[in-house]
Amino acid sequence: MMRPSFHKTPLLRRTLTLLAALALSVACSSEPDGPDRPIDIAEDVGADTDSGDLDGGQPDADAADPTDVEDDADDTDVDATTPDADAEDPDAADADVDEPDASDADADEPDAEELDASDAEEPDAEEPPTECDAATLDLGVLEAGANVVELRADLGTVAGFDACEGSAPTDSVILRFELAENSQIAFPSSDATLLQSTCSAVGAFCVDAGVAFNALSGVELYVAVERPTEASSITIDVTPLVPCSPEGERTCVDGARIEACTTGFASPQVATRVVVDCPQGCEDNACLGDTCANPILVDSAVTVEAPGEALSNSFDNQGATGCSWDTPSLGREVVFQVDHVEAGENIEITITDPLRFYRVSIMQSCSETAECLESAVLGSVLTYEAPASGTYFVVVDAEFDLPAAPEISVEVHAVSEI
């Protein structure tokens, strides 16, 4: 029959430990060869060797646990996987078991000597100049008056930045400048392309020779002009803006032009008085096509140029049935009335403008709540087949009030012509 191990009973163990200590004391005080010596000094024979080699001829109390080791009063940091013999009865000697030592404090921290210059962040290498950088002339801040810019034939150039209609592909120089005050800008003797950002032709549009546009001070402007084949110069006329009021006031100058107190090219914040051509005539102090009340009439086909300064922002059909946008329209619009459309004929709308930010609605009545039979944010061409004969309305509405003068064509075609 197996007897239970003594180390499983803390009280009994402490008793045995005390008796062993008393026995050891007696043994040490007896004569070596005295007959009354109660404990012989003999070789330790138990499975668990004791530190004092004291053996009474009995197996060790903890022999059933060969992995057990004796508790050591000097053991101030066990940190071992082997439990002490008195693991179930911790004492002062075991107080710091599994507690980190000062020597362990930096176990997971890199030593100072491990950090060297290679660990420091290297500064980014300086980017080499781009083709655009080499083709850009920085003119600084332009003052009011005629600013003459010298162009050499050996200047760097970029291709594909000329947005002016009918011009052959050219190598362009980019002029970068700011204005000292809010002003009108014009290039009296040459066409120019106003860029929305440096080194990008996206959203670029043509400014014809002699046509003025408004610009704000403190804003970097980028204009692409053709590089000459020999040394020459161009002039940039800068005229300070004179604010006007009330904004939105319009008056027909004659049957084709309108004078308006309005914002202009690149200047949504400053209203000035301008005279511009209407898309197709001026009546009752408004350009034709400005609202649903005075649409541009289309019998079979019409093509117009619609400068934003000539028009107003009075139409927004967000939320109307069938209209595909869910945000308000912030830009100006031009309205067409297409008469005498036969069932099965196609209404084709074409917009020439690299910005491509126009909403096109086709409806059978002209109002902000009318159902959209077709709607799209037009990239270039939209074609709609009329399901029934009658009159249709086409509204071309800019999503944002950006400077632009798109060319818009509205045509009616028989199915066989598509």
Element (H, E) at 371: none
Task: Give the dihedral of Cα atoms 52, 56, 61, 65; nearest 10 deg.
Answer: 60
Q: What is the pLDDT of residue 121?
A: 57
Distance CA 198, CA 219 (A): 12
Could you give the C-alpha distances from 128 to 119, 157, 158, 175, in angstroms and in order?
26, 17, 16, 20
CATH for the stretch 288-417: 2.60.120.380
Distance CA 96, CA 100 (A): 8
Please tell me whether the overall predicted TM-score, pTM, comes out greater than 0.85 for this model.
no
Prior bond to 246 cis, omega within 30?
A: yes
Lowest mean pLDDT among 124-128, 221-225, 390-394: 124-128
Q: Do 133-240 and 288-417 have matching folds?
A: yes
Overall fold of domain 133-240: Jelly Rolls (2.60.120)
Query: Average pLDDT of 240-246?
Result: 87
Q: Per residue in 88-145, pLDDT tens?
A: 454 444 444 445 554 444 445 545 444 454 445 555 556 666 788 888 999 999 999 9
Q: Are 388 and 343 in contact (CB under 8 A)?
A: yes
DSSP string, 112-179: GGG--GGGSPPPPPPPPPPHHHHTEEEEEEEPSEEEEEEE-TT---EES---STTPPP-EEEEEEEEE
Task: Tell me the three state secondary structure of residue 204.
Answer: coil
Q: Per residue in 326-362, pLDDT tens?
A: 899 888 999 999 999 999 999 999 998 765 678 999 9
Q: Per residue in 173-186, pLDDT tens?
A: 999 999 999 888 99
Among 292, 280, 293, 300, smallest CA distance to 395 is for 292
Task: Give the dihedral of Cα atoms 252, 253, 255, 261; nearest 10 deg.
Answer: -40
Sequence ranges of the domains in the chain: 133-240, 288-417
Among 404, 413, 342, smallest CA distance to 382 is for 413
Q: Are 301 and 237 in contact (CB under 8 A)?
A: no
